[in-house]
Copies of this chain bind each other. A is one copy, B any other.
Amino acid sequence: MAESAKKPYQEMSRDELADEIAALKAEYKKYQAMELQLDMSRGKPCREQLDLSMGLMDALNSTADLSCEDGTDCRNYGVLGGIQEAKVLIGDMMENNPDNILIYGNSSLNVMYDQVSRSMTHGVMGSTPWCKLDKVKWLCPVPGYDRHFGITEYFGIEMIPVPMSPTGPDMDMVEKLVAEDEAIKGIWCVPKYSNPQGYSYSDETVRRFARLKPAAKDFRIYWDNAYGIHHLYDDRQDYLIEILAECKRAGNPDLVYKFASTSKITFPGSGIAALATSANNLEDIKNQLKHQTIGHDKVNQLRHVRFFKDIHGMVEHMRKHAAIIRPKFELVENTFEENLGGLGIGSWTCPNGGYFISFDALEGCAAAIVDRAKKAGVKLTPAGATWPYHKDPHDSNIRIAPTYPPLEDLRTAAQLFTVCVRLVSAEKLYSEMK
């Protein structure tokens, strides 16, 4: 099959496609017989990655002094915005001044949700609460992160897809829409190693974001820098212009909420999340936050600071993550290249960081591919998940999450995936020839 596989499917005759389908069906059955149970659906760290942070559990013990440098006893109530040394560490991680940082609990998703929720009930800096408006709209670069879209869908916000390219969202469209429509209150961005493509916004894109002229005064860029230091390579690292500084330079200091967390640095669900934004936004947020909580988990903040010591410790830690997951990305990319290269039935990204590879199948094939893989025991992110309302109008995008399965499982899963892509694509082309 290897030989024929190099001929683009679109150039095959009906008989050649029939032969290909028969061969692929036989191969697919072999995988089914293996009774696989593999999961490539979510961007989860693998066991070996989690093991890297076990030292976190020793960072504090019963003889430790759980006081901050300023004397605050982290074991007691208080300190709404987070302890100073955590602000410094996370500030270095986010490339922001500690004064612009709010340290939260364990989940940046929760922070983003709360931002939207507060805007619904209380508006932004004194604007009309969004729940009092007839219509609230949101820009959603696509394909994008399903949990972002889940928040805006939950709040009944109308989501408008904006096409992504390797340099970021279509900025002509973004600029035009936000300038024209006061109902547009936000945009979801994963600016570095984007979910799912692994793209990083170009300098021009960031600069145009910082210079947006939204009709709505309460429009905010939701800048989810989830993978800011999540490089796969030492020598191939994307660089992103720091958005807060750029907004300030552009005279738009309050335009952006920037999010990050240590979820994929230490333990997902047991890390610390943070928000960086302007002094005005921080004041607005704290006026609400003080009613919601007395403070977040300072002991866990201190634990992270004592474990990493400083940003250099964190960067070295991330190199260990990269050493574990880089081979997984390369395995998937190589398998795709070997089995799909030149066939004209799919394209995929080869990111320098982040947690995902984005795969684009022939139009109308994604759901069938995911379904085929599922029936052979390989769970993928549902087709459509990368689009608002779970509806990919092209039915072509599939998010590949290579980090969680062990390398050997991943090899099998990636192989099976390519079999599914070829089978579904061949069947589609064959049926269209009828």
Residues of A that sit less than 8 Å from B by CB: 42, 44-45, 47, 50, 53-58, 60-64, 66, 73-78, 105-107, 109-110, 113-114, 117, 120-122, 129, 131-132, 147, 150-151, 154-155, 263, 267-270, 288, 290-300
Q: Give 18 pairs: A residue, B residue, CB < 8 Å, sorted on A.
A: A47-B73, A55-B62, A74-B270, A78-B269, A105-B105, A105-B106, A106-B293, A113-B292, A117-B121, A120-B131, A151-B291, A269-B294, A269-B296, A269-B297, A270-B297, A270-B299, A270-B300, A300-B300
User: How far is it, in angstroms, between the C-alpha of A297 and the C-alpha of B272 when the chains are bound?
Assistant: 10
* Residues of B contacting A131 in the complex (Cβ-Cβ under 8 angstroms): 120-121, 129, 131-132
Interchain CB contact under 8 A, B62 and A61: no
The listed residue (B117, B267, B296) touching A299 by CB distance below 8 A is B267
Give Cα A132 to B143, complex, Å: 33
Task: Give Cα distance in the complex from A107 to B290, angstroms.
Answer: 12
- Assuming A267-B75, A300-B270, is B62 touching A110 (CB within 8 A)? no
What's the minimum C-beta distance from A39 to chain B, rounded to whole angstroms? 12
Q: Who on chain B is nearest to A46 by CB?
A: B76
Question: How many monomers of this chain does the complex have?
Answer: 2
| A107-B57 in contact (CB<8A) | no
- Bound form: Cα–Cα A114–B289 in Å: 11
Q: A61-B57, A121-B131 are in contact. Are A76 and B267 (CB under 8 A)?
A: yes
Query: Of B106, B120, B270, B300, which is within 8 A of A121 by CB?
Result: B120
Instruction: Judge whether B73 and A62 touch: CB under 8 Å.
Output: no
- Residues of B with C-beta under 8 A to A110: 292-293
Contact for A109 among B57, B73, B293, CB less than 8 A: B293
Residues of B within 8 A of A107 (CB): 293-296
* A294 vs B109: C-alpha distance when bound (angstroms): 8
| Chain B residue contacts of A267, Cβ below 8 A | 74-76, 299
- Of all chain B residues, which has the CB nearest A302? B270
**Given A64-B57, A269-B299, is A121 in contact with B44 using a C-beta cutoff of 8 Å?**
no
